[in-house]
Amino acid sequence: MTKQTSKQFALSLALLTLALSTSFSLAQGRRARMGRTAPRHASRTVGHPSQTPAHDSSSYNFTYLGFPQAPFTEAYSLNLGVKNKKMEIVGAYGPEVIQDGYGSGFLLKVTENKGTINQAFTTINDPGFSLQEAEGINDAGDIVGNYIDTSGNEQGYLLSSGTFTEIQVPFAGATSTLPTDINDSNEIVGIWESGSNPIQSFTLIGGVYTQLSGYPGAPETQAISNNNKGDIAGYYLDSSGVYHGFLLNGATYTSIDVPGAVGTWAFGINDSDDIVGYYCMTSECLTDYTGESGFLLSGGVFITINVPTANSTEIGNINNKGVMVGWYYDSGGANLAFIATP
């Protein structure tokens, strides 16, 4: 997903360092992140500059979320709402300067009573580790997330019925595992890495780990979200260093590029195959956050979704009612989460 004075300055320096790096390895200085807090790299223009996505932020109601007393809150995902109509949101919160977006994971239960929205936050952390995130949740309340281990690698967990179960791919040489989403059939998708090798994707279905074939010809493929049909959304890095979103339906990949963008990242998908994420229109956006815009791809049409007055907006996921969650940065120093309701 993804993603302010002292914090923005620190993030800008960190991201500039990442942009100068030639390695995609987690082992080298906590480089460009895996998952919804996407990597930035200088790249060339892709898409069709003559086309511009329609702006539709005015038709959404924005509710802003912040974990109590935490300067940093990012909402990564929410339940699709098929079996559980109540909205449950997961993400991360933390202090002003945290490592690669990591702090503590959270679960937020949102209820409405006579027009008043009530928010109940709970910290979700795998015991014994700091620097964590909660990444995905299904209608049963099962949560997948990850943490940084004592070796500096990312490792995953499943939280179900109050019990944490470690998720680590059994693939040869794997050093990091990051589960990113879980659907109502308990099918988990995620990404993994082997040392300095490019990031790849996996599924965990019925206790069986399967390595996904990457986007054709792409050195790096990151599966970020799955719906109840088994369709998967995410993003890939092409051989020229450009990021594109994708939809994986069965064994068929479809590339997703916002027209005119220099980079597109798909973060979420619902059962109608509506896809959300964010995009950059300039090379500067790739390195300093400024100008990131959220998008919704529905029925083949791109719509830009931006938090009013925000410098940057990233959308983490969308449920079956079209409600989106994400996070934003503004010029006043805020780094907060939001709900966008159509």
Give residue 167's pLDDT band: very low, low, confident or very high (50, 70, 90).
very high
**Residue ranges covered by each domain of the chain:** 5-341
Q: What is the pLDDT of residues 177-201, one digit of tens each?
A: 999 999 999 999 999 999 888 999 9
User: At 6, which helix (H) or strand (E)?
Assistant: helix 5-20
**Residue 300 neighbours by CB under 8 Å, 6+ apart:** none
Q: What is the pLDDT of residues 67-110, one digit of tens each?
A: 999 988 999 999 999 999 999 999 999 986 445 557 999 999 99
Give residue 118's pLDDT band: very low, low, confident or very high (50, 70, 90).
confident
**Residue 86 neighbours by CB under 8 Å, 6+ apart:** 109, 110, 111
- In this structure, which CATH number among 3.40.50.2300, 2.40.50.140, 2.120.10.30, 3.40.50.300 belongs to the domain 5-341? 2.120.10.30
**Residue 294 neighbours by CB under 8 Å, 6+ apart:** 276, 277, 278, 304, 305, 306, 307, 313, 314, 315, 324, 326
Name the pTM for this structure. Answer: 0.86
Dist CA 113 CA 129 (whole Å)? 36
Which of 9-13, 22-26, 27-31, 34-38 holds the top average pLDDT?
Answer: 34-38
Dist CA 87 CA 90 (whole Å)? 10
Give residue 113's pLDDT band: very low, low, confident or very high (50, 70, 90).
confident
